[in-house]
Structure 1
Amino acid sequence: MESSWLETRWARPLYLVIVFFLTLGLLQVVKLYMRRQQLLRDLRAFSGPPPHWLTGNQKLFGSGHLEKLDEVVEKYPCAFPAWIGPFEVFFYIYDPDYAKTLLSRTDPKSKYFHKFLVPLLEEGLLSLNGSKWAQHRRLVTPAFNLNILKSHVNVIAQSVNIMLGKWEKTCGTQETVVEVFKDINLMSLDTLMKCTFSQETNCQINSTHNRFIEGLTECLEIILKCMYSFFYHYDIFFKFSPESRRLQKWTNIIHQYTGQVIQEKRKSLKDEKEQGETEKKCQDFLDILLSAQAKNGNGFSDNDLYSEVNTFMIAGVDTIGGTLSWLLYHLAQNPEHQKRCREEIRGILGDGSSITWDQLGEMSYTTMCIKESLRLCPTATAISRELSKPITFPDGRSLPAGMTVVLSIWGLHRNPNVWENPKVFDPLRFSQENYSKRHSHSYLPFSGGLRNCVGQHFAMTELKVAVALILLRFELTPDPTRPLILISKILLKPKNGLHLYLKKIS
């Protein structure tokens, strides 16, 4: 009688291995099933858009188009669960009371979001948590004190005037369509390099710096795709994917750029010291970080230094550049507000040949327009937290620890239960009279709580200087043949650029 194959010498170990892996696989399936059932129980008090059985609500977010989110916000007024595949949920909130409850706590950043951001930003303010974050925040804050901000006004004006010179050369005396987004981002990079690193790069003219802007755009696009694809939440899929290789390629380019900035700064400080040039009116951002490193020794390492420079460059260029772009777009779409801003600015600055810190404080209507544009188009559309303990919202509904909560700033700012006619550009929402009626957490363009944006006053200074000088030199009108299409790539971006008619004011 022939023996069974199981009785052969080699078959039994193979059989045991197969049974072992099948058992492991079955246990994993059971574990995932139990996780899904637990999530369904945790979220039973909250309704939301029906998810696909495999991809969840990926179609709602994966494309980056935000119009679908507007529809969901209108249908589900406070919050909704967004399924990322069958076994993971991001819980979206956009109600002021919900936002206040979340931001009053000290929950860490979500690991799901920041797992993809860390290769780009490294361990800086945007990704750190706990005592390390508090230490970095304390060291970085002095870079944005009032005296330093005052010293930036003329430097910002110089950078803006370079951009305006390019536009005047392009337009001449004729009304001309210009794609302004790229020029504004280069101007923002130029300003950042001068104000925070004291470096003259000529980046608005020298096209080699476009590589940094291109790299940042590519990285954010890859990260968005990975965040909302549940397969990439598993390292075994992400590490061997084309997206991982692309992300590594572009982050290397960006890090080389910021590394060069630090090396050049160290060299210039060394040269100044050797030449006995010790006096300096104001320290810049990098001076303060290098000084902190010298004082703290191992408490602020080279990795910490590089991380903060990366974070500030990446967060500083696209956010301010994007915000200025959307502001110009809204003023082009609303000529009555553009005219009123220009009249206010002329009354304060005259021909704009000089501009001072005190004059910026007089631009009340222009400031209202900036704030309203930030409401309609917040450059950072969301922030996320991972609950370290259960949370109960003011309406009595609760979530357990471990849940990833996403505060949608876009949804909050366009929630019709919070703002009347939310899609209408109305700067008077931010008048002194209306300000007192507003919920403290209904408007969060720079986030809120302890982790609010450390550079928000720098951003507002640059925006005021830039819009003032632009409106004194140009009249803006929209190009009806190329409407602005906004998409979220972590930060808000124009899908096909931002085209405006520019007409030189004689």
Structure 2
Amino acid sequence: FPRLARAWLGPVLPMIMLVHPETVKMILRTSEPKALRTYRFLEPWIGDGLLLSGGEKWRRNRRLLTPAFHFDILRPYQRLNNQISDVLLKKLSDFCDRDEYFEVFSEISMYTLDVITQCAFSYKTECQIVGEQHPYIRAISELVDLATERFFKPWLHVDLIYFLTRDGRRFKCNCDYVHKVAEEMIVKRRKELKEKDFVDTKRHLDFLDILLKAQDENGEGLSNLEIRNEVDTFMFEGHDTTASAISWTLFSIAENKSIQKRLQSEIDKVLEGRESDEILWEDLPNLPYLTMCVKEGMRCHCPVPFIQRETTQELEIDGLVIPPGTMVNVIIYNIHHNAQVWEDSTTFDPDRFLPENVEKRDPYAFVPFSAGPRNCIGQHFAMHEMKTVIARILRRFDLSLDPNHIVKKKETLVMRSEDGIFMKASPRK
């Protein structure tokens, strides 16, 4: 495991690959933007929201969006997390009654889509029930798949070529549809927010409400286009990545029975004496072993295996001067498995995240949400969502993997499984 290396994208584009905490921090602690030469294919969908913007525009929008993820705003989402996980638990119970294996990614993906659409703009798609038959859900799912496929085919990065292909036309059609839905939502919500009755009766502010109310130091808010870009960015970044983290963590928990039992004991203790198995906001800090399991799941399996930045000025790393305009790849999967940092790195061991063990490590050794000023703005939202659904599943069921199915990782923009992850939910013994 070197600290850094040079590679080439095609014959002419050099890239720097970083795989060690001490080299990674040199780029992550800056606000250098994403490498637009490879991320630009997302622009027709998500525009120049937080993911793709840079410079002063990124700094302004980051300041405006940060309040949307304050704990006081996130607290009411906990009720939604429980309500939406009720549907998933019912589906798992049905699988349990039929003694059937279920494919984890497909079930969890529909759950996270339900969460993100309701929390983003109170849009009830009920996709866990109707699946991808809902046109908005089908469009979002296709956009993610098409964008991922295009990322790994550099010859399709040229818009003139891509939008002449069948996939390019499908991508544009889906973009037009999700933009239309978002724009109609924005116009409708702007009108509603002016009505006192709507504001008084609304049980919680969603992401769209916060964006519409946001104002900078000059009293200027976000335009409809800027809001649409941020909503679409939230959908892109907050759905597949969270589904991957939950699915792989459940995989490792099902694979390690002693860890599963220890985790269930912690959950049982927190919920002891209650009729409901809902996870309350106040319960979340009282589940430290669950937090450790989720973090170890993200370390082992890396929902986002790598990210790319592009230098706008000279940057020195380990004595190497990197010129402006260079793509810098932060290989998160390799960082999380660097033998100089992680002993027995392929072993799932939540105790790595005991406070005394965390203190010994460089903070940049564990970066599932990136780090520094451009870290994931929604990481607390994601952690609450993950902990809630995993706790509720394990409160009711024992999980076991299908012994006849081999699970293989498929590394794309988001870590997936080659042929799915199949497991069985059985009544707690």
Q: Normalising by structure 2, what TM-score?
A: 0.91
Report the CA distance between 1:276 and its aligned residue: 6.8
Q: Structure 2 CA distance, aligned partners of 1:305 and 1:187?
A: 24
3-state secondary structure, aligned to 2:420: coil
Matched residue, 1:331: 253
Q: Structure 1 CA distance, aligned partners of 2:132 and 2:191?
A: 22
Q: 1:236 to 1:166 in 2, by over 3 A?
A: closer
Compare 83-92 and 128-137 and name the one that shifted more.
Answer: 83-92
C-alpha contact (below 8 Å) 2:335/2:365 kept by paired residues: yes
Q: Structure 2 CA distance, aligned partners of 1:264 and 1:167?
A: 36
Return 5+ residue gaps in structure 1 as ranges.
1-73
What amino acid maps onto 2:208 in structure 1? Answer: L
Q: Confirm whether residue 377 of structure 1 aligns to residue 322 of structure 2.
A: no
Matched residue, 1:470: 393
3-state secondary structure, aligned to 2:43: helix
What amino acid maps onto 1:480 in structure 2? Answer: P
Matched residue, 1:284: 206
Q: Confirm whether residue 100 of structure 1 aligns to residue 25 of structure 2.
A: yes
Flag the structure with larger Rg: 1
Q: Structure 2 CA distance, aligned partners of 1:301 and 1:233?
A: 28
Q: Confirm whether residue 487 of structure 1 aligns to residue 410 of structure 2.
A: yes
Residues 189-235 of structure 1 show CA distances to partners (whole Å, capped at 9, x for unaligned) of: 22223333234333322335654444444434433443344433445
C-alpha contact (below 8 Å) 1:92/1:406 kept by paired residues: yes
Q: Structure 1 CA distance, aligned partners of 2:377 and 2:390?
A: 22
Q: Confirm whether residue 122 of structure 1 aligns to residue 44 of structure 2.
A: no
Q: Structure 1 CA distance, aligned partners of 2:172 and 2:13?
A: 26
C-alpha contact (below 8 Å) 1:175/1:504 kept by paired residues: no
C-alpha contact (below 8 Å) 1:197/1:286 kept by paired residues: yes
Q: 1:429 to 1:239 in 2, by over 3 A?
A: same
Q: Structure 1 CA distance, aligned partners of 2:161 and 2:242?
A: 35
C-alpha contact (below 8 Å) 1:88/1:230 kept by paired residues: no
Pick from 253, 262, 267: which aligns with 1:345? Answer: 267
Q: 1:357 to 1:278 in 2, by over 3 A?
A: closer
Q: Confirm whether residue 397 of structure 1 aligns to residue 296 of structure 2.
A: no
Matched residue, 2:375: 452
Residues 407-465 of structure 1 show CA distances to partners (whole Å, capped at 9, x for unaligned) of: 11112112222211111101111001101111111100010110111110111111111
Report the CA distance between 1:175 and its aligned residue: 3.5
CA RMSD of aligned residues (A): 2.5
Matched residue, 1:202: 126
What amino acid maps onto 1:289 in structure 2? Answer: L
What amino acid maps onto 1:420 in structure 2? Answer: E
Q: Structure 2 CA distance, aligned partners of 1:495 and 1:337?
A: 25
Q: Runs of 4 or more off by more than 6 Å in structure 1?
A: 293-298
Pick from 230, 234, 239: which aligns with 1:308? Answer: 230
5 Å-filtered alignment, 1:264-279, equals: 265-266=189-190, 268-269=192-193, 272-273=195-196, 275=197, 278=200
Q: Structure 1 CA distance, aligned partners of 2:13 and 2:198?
A: 59
Q: Confirm whether residue 181 of structure 1 aligns to residue 112 of structure 2.
A: no
C-alpha contact (below 8 Å) 1:124/1:308 kept by paired residues: yes
Return 5+ residue gaps in structure 2 as ranges.
none
Q: Structure 2 CA distance, aligned partners of 1:474 and 1:212?
A: 32
What amino acid maps onto 2:56 in structure 1? Answer: S
Q: Structure 1 CA distance, aligned partners of 2:347 and 2:99?
A: 27
5 Å-filtered alignment, 1:53-132, equals: 74=1, 77-132=2-57
Q: Confirm whether residue 408 of structure 1 aligns to residue 353 of structure 2.
A: no
Report the CA distance between 1:159 and its aligned residue: 0.8
What amino acid maps onto 2:345 in structure 1? Answer: P
Matched residue, 2:286: 362
